[in-house]
Amino acid sequence: MQHNGAGETNGEPPPLSFSAAAPLQMATSRVRRFAQEGRTVPPQPRVMVVFSAASDTENQGDAMSGTDTGEEEYRKPVIPVPNLNLGKSLRTLDAPEEFPEVIPLNVGGTYFTTRLSTLRRYEDTMLAAMFSGRHQIPRDAEGRYFIDRDGAYFGDILNFLREGELPQRDRVRAVHREAQYYAIGPLLESLEDTQPLTGEKVRQAFLDLLPYYKENLERIVEIAKLRAMQRKARFAKLKICVYKEEMPITPYERPLFNSLRFERSESEAKLFEHHCEVDVSFGPWEAVADVYDLLHCIVSDLADRGISADQQCIGVCDKHLINHYYCKRPIYEFKITWW
């Protein structure tokens, strides 16, 4: 193999090297140099210039490194082709799902079987929407349609959808909660017109007169818990004032006032303002329900939370107000037993 001063091998010019900055200028200067030396100009290689929208200088530097590289770059598309396999990232809407006439259900591990028309009986319900064909419902290992909900009262839901049957009284509250979850309006209306929910509506109408009722109930629980823990005791006692009438007077003093509602001027009202020395106070309110009705509400609501409470009247508040007026609000002792 022979080498000459110009760097050719076997009389052939060395491979051309082009830079991305000015490939055409370099080819032109080399042809001019061959002509000045009186040498035959060899056939020029074909030059392919690939234009790309990319502005990165590093990618431009590799565009014309050689013929093979140019051909390889030429084969690559300038604009990337988007990946059309979107099955995992985007979910296309399939045709509405077809359901069999008999539907096997798995509600929280309890199995049921019913007709498709039963689940679709009321259009504006969650069950009708689930089995409308617009949504995919998961299935268990045996192919039953799965609903992640406690199935203890789902049978009562199906009985109402089948023939309008209502649950027994001791199951009304629980079934009412399930009807709220499944958004079955006709069942909710029917249950609210039966006991004990009807009585609860009447009771709540009375408790709405005492907007602080729930807050005071929480205070009773917190104070009783704190005292029992501080004293390491099984129970705790609280003093609670429950009064219906705003005017703190005895019955024989009522004729001294203008009406049974004890209307007073603003100055007179300030004279009677005071707070009994108790833990929690309820009142006043204007309703037929009296003090004993409110005491029953307090005890029953605590019992619903699993808290045992006993109460008894231990006297009245004897705080002197003005002249011969004394506070006569009744004071009750509540005994909260924790275990």
pLDDT in tens, the chain (339 residues): 444 444 444 555 555 444 444 555 555 565 566 556 655 555 555 545 444 444 444 444 444 444 444 444 444 444 444 343 333 332 333 667 889 999 999 999 999 999 999 999 999 999 999 999 988 899 999 999 999 999 999 999 999 999 999 999 999 999 999 999 999 999 999 999 999 999 999 999 999 999 899 999 999 999 999 999 999 999 999 999 998 876 545 555 555 554 444 555 666 555 556 678 899 999 888 889 999 999 999 999 999 999 999 999 999 887 766 666 677 889 999 999 999
How many other CB atoms are found less than 10 A from the CB of residue 142? 8
pTM of the model: 0.58
Contacts of 327 (CB under 8 A, 6+ apart): 248, 274, 276, 316, 317, 318, 319, 320, 321
- CA–CA distance, 134 with 116 (Å, rounded to integer): 15
pLDDT at site 8: 47
Please state, as a whole number, how many other Cβ atoms lie within 10 Å of the Cβ of residue 281. Answer: 17
DSSP classification of residue 276? -
- Position 20 scores a pLDDT of 47
The b-or-e profile of 9-26 (16+ CB within 10 A means b, else e) is eeeebeeeebebeebeee
pLDDT for residue 76:
43
Instruction: Give residue 1's pLDDT.
Output: 45
Query: How far is 119 from 327, CA to CA, in rounded Å?
Result: 62
User: What are the helix and strand counts (H, E) for the chain?
Assistant: 12, 9
Token pair listed for 64: 């014309």
Residues 298-314: b if buried by 16+ CB within 10 A, e if exposed: beebbeeeebebebeee
Do the Cβ atoms of 297 and 199 come closer than 8 Å?
no
Token pair, residue 145, equals 């349609």
The whole-number pLDDT of residue 273 equals: 64
**Which neighbouring-strand residues pair with 337?**
235, 308
- C-alpha 314/C-alpha 174 separation (Å) is 38
Alpha carbons 177 and 186: distance in angstroms, whole number: 14
Distance CA 89, CA 284 (A): 62
Q: Which residue has the tokens 């000015």?
A: 22
What angle in degrees, to the nearest 10, is found between the helix axes of 154-163 and 185-192? 100
Cα separation, 229 vs 280, in Å, equals 19
Cα 136 off chain centre by: 21
Strands (E), 78-182: 102-107, 110-115, 145-147
- Given this model, what pLDDT does residue 96 score? 78
